[in-house]
């Protein structure tokens, strides 16, 4: 009974502990060599980020990035180095040479192509926190709030805007034209508003960088960061609300349709009962609506598999890896 | 078999009528499968489905209805007009509006009993249609609450949903026995089982079906000399006592291994999950359950039934499909061609027969069905 | 030597045939069914075995078909006329792909796969329009012999259009046409094309094929057969005694069944 959900909760707890407290368990901190910067190019914000973003002073245990919110601002630096978006924004700004970036990019793309947004549903500690909030809500018998399609639409545009805005800003501030002040203020722009930056450190009993009143931009981003941190708690009423804004997930989502791990549906077995849609944590209707193509992993689908678990038709929904069935309804 | 006899008794005798005569609560008569029984049970009412295949009642209704109207609608009206059995006992009738006949039946039945009409949208897959239907179900709540004097609570609805879910889980176990080769039960007996659920107490029906499943699973499988031809029945519902077609289909050693009728398999098939358990979420889930998986041809798009029949044909290893058109029900007849084409493309033969409640075309029908079975036997 | 009987107990006539164990048609008999099909089939059977000089006990199998197949006494099995007509037509014309049977009170189109297996069939509704009964009534209205209706239709200058195919209404229409001094041949041709229309719509439901065999008493009507050929654009095979095809098929099925069992 509910075997998938039970397994998923267990996996989430394990990875939550690993990603949040791994550095406490294996205190072997990896020292990243400073990126090579061509002579004559200012090192921009490289040395100033401590002022904007809290860091433990330590790097991660392993020099690996993950396509999930394995945040570098976790207490003691965390087990993994950072999330996929942090990787890009940091290294674009530093104008890290492709030679250094390539192995990491290959690693990240391989992870994304292997599992798609399975990372969000099963590994991400932020996701686990939001699921915990949903669990609390059900325990206290509050009702779920559904976003209207217009809001969903708006958030869709917002998260994709955030992905590309972050990339563009990261590249731009890597060049000296914008000036040191802007560079300092806009460095890791997405991290500055990401709820993990404010949320993760307190879970390791350290303070994040709550405020930054250097200039008007940093003050604005501080307030925006608090606002987003508040939005994160909306997940109590709207399951996994931050996932609907999260640019990291949106970025990983670009790989979701092509990933080797797929959710597939047999249209003939489907009775259109709508159970999958009601079960879906993110209110997705792709599984319900699909009538022709077998693969139903939408860019937003996190492969949490509640639909597969609840589907009353045997074999209608299947989780496949490289075409081989792993699970079926 | 005693276990089977129980279901036959519920369908063919006035046992339920006698039982409910001494019952002090409210009895609510329902038509079709669109009425959320969970809601009625949660408010303490007894839901009974009053659809009928009674030819005498059909003729009686010609006093108040036009003659050229589908037999199901006429017979339903005839029974209410005459106050037959549970139609006399019902305190309220809930009438969904799938087709024109049912739509206009509201005022007719209203002459004899209080009627609540549930408006169905003309298509079920669009968001606006679903929103509309959920409103219909939400609006039904105060009607039932006023009738029974019991307010709807979250706990009661959940309990009722559990009860119905249990019923449908057992039914799926029963379906596996029909899918077996050779099938463990005749199609007509299976129709008695599902049609007993029209009026029977939900819990008792479930227990009885569990016993029947147990019995069938344990008894040695029948060993017929020749493998019976396996038929699937779809189209307009056969409702007791109009079992003519299924009797003829099985007379010659063929077995109806599965039906796709709203009066048969569909009736007790769909479970509903309980992931969000607030009262509005439960109500919405029940509303969707009553609307979305139905394959009634009253909706614009008939793809669901095409899929359903193909799927059942696969899982139950069917040799041929018999499509029942009820005379004067254009909806089923209009979908017959699409069904024929779909099945032909899959190499599955289909026989379409058009009939009504009368017995006069029995010979004709028999020739067709028998020839079809002979054809399948090859 | 084994003998096999096939009895086609139809609504108008009851045909009985006797075949030997090589499948050759040896004797046949057609009687009018009348009100009691049980008696008619008994009479037909007795007459046919009488012709052969046999007793009922000499018959290895008696296969009944047709509308009254359940009321044939002494039958070893009952098979529907669709299977029997198909079997009989294939035995006479092995290339047959489509059998059009115009019987006493119904018509059918039977589609066959190569090899003679039935793959689809269609029957008219419970209405005698365009069947043997229809022609019987019309011949009476035209005051001609039923056997003359077909040849007469072939001589027609043109076919009269009929507004109604219901036997009852068509009869009164024919009567008024006769009264208007419309040539009988033209009316007969009109009746034949109207009936052929019905057969065509049945044939189209199962799929028209080039190799068509017409069976049943209706195939005795040359005008009807010609009209069907014209509408379908084919040349139809017509057996010498089309009214026996059902009974012949039934007897063949009895023979094959017996061989299969042995």
Q: Could you tell me which chain B residue has the CA closest to the CA of A308? A: B273
* pLDDT score for A49: 47
**Residue of B367, B373, B376, B377 to mutate when probing chain C, most C C-beta within 10 A:** B367
C-beta atoms of B375 and C118 within 8 A: yes
Residues A248 and A130 occupy one common structural domain: yes
Which residues in chain B have Cβ-Cβ distances shorter than 8 Å to C119?
349, 375
Query: Based on the structure, what is the number of domains in chain A?
Result: 2
Nearest beta carbon to residue A312 from set B127, B271, B311 = B271
pLDDT tens-place values along chain A, 329 residues long = 589 999 999 999 999 999 999 888 887 766 554 444 455 444 444 434 444 455 556 678 888 899 999 988 888 878 898 899 999 988 888 788 888 889 999 999 999 999 999 999 999 999 999 999 999 999 998 999 999 999 999 999 999 999 999 999 998 887 777 776 677 788 888 998 999 989 998 898 888 878 877 778 888 998 999 999 999 999 999 999 999 999 999 999 999 988 999 999 999 999 999 999 999 999 999 999 998 889 999 999 999 999 999 999 999 999 999 989 999 98
Same structural domain for residues C136 and C232? Answer: yes
Using CA atoms, how far apart are residues A47 and A50, in angstroms rounded to an integer? 7
Phi, psi dihedral angles at A275 (to 5 degrees): -60, -40
Residue A103's pLDDT is what?
92
> Which among C223, C219, C225 is positioned nearest to C241, based on CA atoms?
C219
Q: How far is CA C234 from the centre of its chain?
A: 19
Q: Which of A240, A267, A274, A288 to mutate to test the interface with B (most CBs of B within 10 A)?
A: A274
Sheet holding C118-123, edge to edge: C118-123, C107-112, C98-102, C212-215, C236-237
Write out residues 201-230 of B within 8 Å (CB-CB) of A. none
As separate numbers, helices (DSSP H) first and strands (DSSP E) second, chain C gives 8, 10
Percent of chain B past pLDDT 90, that is, above it, reads 90
DSSP strand pairing (C236-237 vs A82-83): unpaired
**Is C73 in the same domain as C98?**
no
**B2 touching C, CB under 8 A?**
no
Sort out which chain B residues have CB atoms less than 8 A from C257's CB and list them. none
ipTM of the complex as predicted: 0.91
Rounded CA gap, B331 and B248, in Å? 24
* Torsion (CA) B43, B46, B47, B50 in degrees, nearest 10: -150
Q: Residue C176 belongs to what domain range?
A: 94-238
**A282 and A240 belong to one structural domain:** no
Query: What three-state secondary structure class fits A255?
Result: coil
Same domain, C59 and C135: no
Chain B residues inside the 8 Å CB shell of A274? 288-289, 292-293
Question: For all residues of chain C together, what is the average pLDDT?
Answer: 91
Do both A304 and A213 map to the same domain?
A: no
> Where does a domain end: A255, A275, A290?
A255
| d(CA B13, nearest CA chain A) in Å | 34
Dihedrals phi, psi of A108, to nearest 5 degrees: -70, -40
- A230 and A274 in a single domain? The answer is no
Residues C185 and C69 in one domain: no
In this prediction, residue B341 carries a pLDDT of: 94
Contact C80 B364 (CB under 8 A): no
Q: Where are the beta strands (DSSP E) in chain B?
A: 27-30, 46-49, 92-96, 115-118, 230-235, 255-259, 320-326, 350-355
Count of residues making up chain C: 262
| Distance from the Cα of residue B377 to its chain's centroid | 30
Same domain, A144 and A267: no
- Cβ separation C121–B360 shorter than 8 A: no
Which tokens belong to A204?
């390791």
Per DSSP, what are the bridge partners of residue A295?
A264
- The answer on C234 and C111 residing in a single domain is yes
Note whether residue C89 is domain-resident.
no
Has residue C183 got a pLDDT over 80? yes
Q: For residue C88, is it within any domain? A: no
CATH number at residue A313: 3.30.70.20
* Most B CBs within 10 Å, among C80, C81, C112, to test the B interface: C80
Q: Which residue of B has its CA nearest to C123?
A: B368
Are C114 and C230 found together in one domain? yes
C149, C135 Cβ separation under 8 angstroms: yes
Instruction: Say if residue A317 is in the same domain as residue A189.
Output: no
**C159/C153 Cα distance (integer angstroms):** 8
C122 in the same domain as C210: yes
* CB atoms inside a 10 Å sphere around CB B134: 18
pLDDT in tens, B76-119: 999 999 998 899 999 999 999 999 999 999 999 999 999 999 99
For the four alpha carbons of B208, B213, B218 and B221, in that order, the dihedral sign comes to positive
The pLDDT of residue A43 is: 42
Give dist(CA C60, CA C252) in Å, integer: 12
By the CB < 8 Å criterion, does B360 face chain C?
yes
Distance set, CA A286 to CA A272, B46, B218 (Å): 12, 38, 43
C119 plus C53 within the same structural domain:
no
**pLDDT at site A58:** 67
Residue A77: the pLDDT is 79
In chain A the first and final C-alpha atoms are separated, in Å, by 12
CATH code for the domain of C160: 3.30.420.40
Regarding whether A286 and A160 lie in a shared domain, the answer is: no
Q: Are residues A192 and A268 in the same domain?
A: no
pLDDT score of A100: 86
Angle made by CA atoms B134, B137, B140, in degrees to the nearest 5: 150
Chain B contacts of A291, Cβ < 8 Å? 303
pLDDT along chain B (378 residues), means of 10: 92 94 93 96 96 93 93 95 92 96 94 96 94 97 96 96 96 95 93 96 97 94 88 96 94 92 95 90 96 95 95 96 95 95 94 92 91 91
Write down the pLDDT at residue A61: 83
Note whether A271 contacts B278, CB cutoff 8 Å.
no
Same domain membership, residue A192 and residue A162: yes
Q: Which residue, of A234, A255, A276, is where some domain finishes?
A: A255
Same domain, C233 and C253: no
Same domain, C8 and C55: yes
B48, B199 contact by CB (below 8 A): yes
Cβ <8 Å between B304 and A279: no
Domain span at residue A305 reads 262-328
Same domain, A320 and A290: yes
Same structural domain for residues A150 and A270? no
3-state helix, strand, coil in chain B (%, to 5): 55, 10, 35
Are A130 and A215 in a shared domain? yes
C246 and C199 both lie in a single domain: no
Indicate whether C86 belongs to any domain. no
The rounded distance, in Å, linking the Cα atoms of A327 and A320 is 7
What's the total number of domains in chain C?
A: 2
**Structure-token pair, residue C26:** 């040896």
């Amino acid at each position: 009974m509910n075997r998938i959900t039970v397994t998923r909760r267990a996996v989430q707890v394990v990875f939550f502990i690993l990603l949040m407290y791994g550095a406490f368990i294996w205190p072997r901190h990896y020292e990243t060599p400073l990126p090579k910067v061509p002579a004559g190019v200012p090192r921009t914000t490289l040395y100033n980020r401590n002022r904007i973003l809290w860091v433990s002073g330590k790097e991660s245990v392993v020099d690996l990035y993950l396509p999930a919110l394995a945040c570098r601002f976790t207490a003691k630096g965390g087990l993994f180095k950072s999330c996929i978006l942090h990787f890009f924004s940091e290294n674009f700004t530093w104008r890290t040479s492709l030679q250094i970036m390539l192995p990491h990019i290959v690693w990240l793309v391989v992870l994304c192509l292997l599992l798609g947004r399975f990372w969000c549903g099963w590994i991400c500690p932020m996701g686990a926190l939001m699921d915990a909030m949903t669990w609390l809500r059900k325990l206290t018998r509050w009702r779920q709030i559904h976003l209207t399609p217009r809001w969903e639409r708006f958030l869709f545009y917002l998260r994709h805007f955030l992905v590309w805005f972050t990339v563009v800003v990261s590249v731009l501030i890597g060049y000296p034209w914008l000036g040191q002040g802007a560079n300092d203020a806009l460095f890791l722009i997405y991290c500055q508003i990401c709820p993990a930056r404010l949320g993760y450190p307190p879970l390791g009993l350290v303070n994040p960088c709550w405020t930054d009143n250097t200039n008007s931009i940093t003050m604005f981003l501080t307030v925006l960061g608090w606002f987003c941190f508040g939005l994160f708690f909306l997940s109590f009423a709207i399951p996994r609300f931050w996932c609907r804004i999260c640019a990291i997930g949106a970025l990983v989502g670009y790989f979701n349709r092509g990933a080797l791990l797929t959710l597939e549906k047999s249209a003939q077995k489907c009775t259109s009962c709508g159970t999958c849609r009601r079960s879906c944590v993110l209110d997705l209707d792709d599984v319900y609506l699909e009538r022709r193509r077998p693969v139903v992993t939408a860019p937003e689908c996190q492969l949490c598999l509640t639909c597969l678990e609840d589907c009353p038709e045997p074999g209608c929904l299947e989780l496949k890896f490289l075409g081989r069935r792993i699970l079926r309804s | 078999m005693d276990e089977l006899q129980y279901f036959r008794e519920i369908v063919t005798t006035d046992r339920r009528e006698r039982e409910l005569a001494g019952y002090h609560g409210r009895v609510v008569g329902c038509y079709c499968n669109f009425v959320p029984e969970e809601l009625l049970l949660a408010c303490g009412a007894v839901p009974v489905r009053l659809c009928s295949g009674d030819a005498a009642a059909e003729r009686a209704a010609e006093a108040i209805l036009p003659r050229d109207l589908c037999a199901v609608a006429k017979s339903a009206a005839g029974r209410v007009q005459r106050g037959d059995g549970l139609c006399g006992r019902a305190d309220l009738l809930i009438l969904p509006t799938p087709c024109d006949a049912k739509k206009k039946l509201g005022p007719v039945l209203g002459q004899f009993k209080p009627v609540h009409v549930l408006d169905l949208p003309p298509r079920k897959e669009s968001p606006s249609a679903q929103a509309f239907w959920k409103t219909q179900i939400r609006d039904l709540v105060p009607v039932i609450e006023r009738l029974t004097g019991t307010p709807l609570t979250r706990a009661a609805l959940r309990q009722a949903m559990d009860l119905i879910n249990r019923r449908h889980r057992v039914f799926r176990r029963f379906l596996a026995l029909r899918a077996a080769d050779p099938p463990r039960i005749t199609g007509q007996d299976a129709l008695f089982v599902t049609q007993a659920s029209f009026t029977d107490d939900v819990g008792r029906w479930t227990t009885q079906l569990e016993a029947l499943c147990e019995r069938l699973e344990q008894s040695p499988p029948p060993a017929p000399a020749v493998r019976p031809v396996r038929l699937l029945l779809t189209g307009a519902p056969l409702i007791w006592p109009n079992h003519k077609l299924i009797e003829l289909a099985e007379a010659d050693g063929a077995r109806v291994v599965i039906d796709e009728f709203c009066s048969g398999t569909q009736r007790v098939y769909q479970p509903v999950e309980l992931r969000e358990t607030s009262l509005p979420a439960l109500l919405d889930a029940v509303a969707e359950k009553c609307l979305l998986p139905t394959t009634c041809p009253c909706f614009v798009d008939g793809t669901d039934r095409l899929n359903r029949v193909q799927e059942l044909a696969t899982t139950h290893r069917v040799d041929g499909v018999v499509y029942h058109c009820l005379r004067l029900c254009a909806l089923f007849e209009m979908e017959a061609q699409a069904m024929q084409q779909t099945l032909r493309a899959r190499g599955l033969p289909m026989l379409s027969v058009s009939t009504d409640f009368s017995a006069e075309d029995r010979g004709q029908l028999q020739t067709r069905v028998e020839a079809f079975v002979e054809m399948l036997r090859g | 030597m084994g003998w096999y009987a096939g009895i086609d107990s139809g609504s108008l006539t009851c045909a009985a045939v006797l075949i030997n164990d090589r499948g050759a048609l040896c004797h046949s008999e057609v009687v009018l069914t009348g009100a009691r099909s049980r008696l008619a089939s008994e009479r037909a059977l007795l007459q046919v075995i009488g012709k052969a000089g046999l007793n009922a006990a000499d018959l290895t199998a008696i296969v009944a078909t047709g509308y009254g197949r359940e009321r044939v006494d002494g039958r070893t099995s009952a098979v529907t006329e669709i299977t029997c007509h198909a079997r009989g037509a294939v035995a006479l014309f092995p290339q047959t792909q489509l059998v059009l049977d115009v019987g006493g009170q119904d018509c059918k189109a039977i589609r066959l796969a190569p090899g003679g297996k039935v793959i689809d069939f269609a029957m008219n509704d419970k209405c005698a329009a365009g069947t043997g009964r229809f022609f019987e009534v019309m011949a009476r209205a035209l005051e001609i012999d039923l056997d003359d209706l077909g040849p007469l239709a072939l001589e027609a200058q043109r076919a009269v259009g009929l507004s109604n195919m219901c036997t009852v209404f068509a009869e009164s229409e024919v009567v008024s046409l006769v009264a208007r001094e419309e040539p009988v041949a033209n009316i007969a041709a009109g009746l034949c094309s109207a009936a052929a229309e019905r057969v065509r719509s049945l044939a189209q439901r199962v799929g028209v094929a080039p190799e068509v065999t017409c069976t049943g008493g209706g195939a005795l009507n040359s005008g009807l057969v010609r009209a069907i050929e014209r509408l379908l654009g084919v040349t139809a095979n017509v057996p010498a005694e089309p009214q026996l095809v059902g009974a012949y098929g039934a007897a063949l099925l009895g023979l094959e069944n017996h061989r299969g069992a042995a």
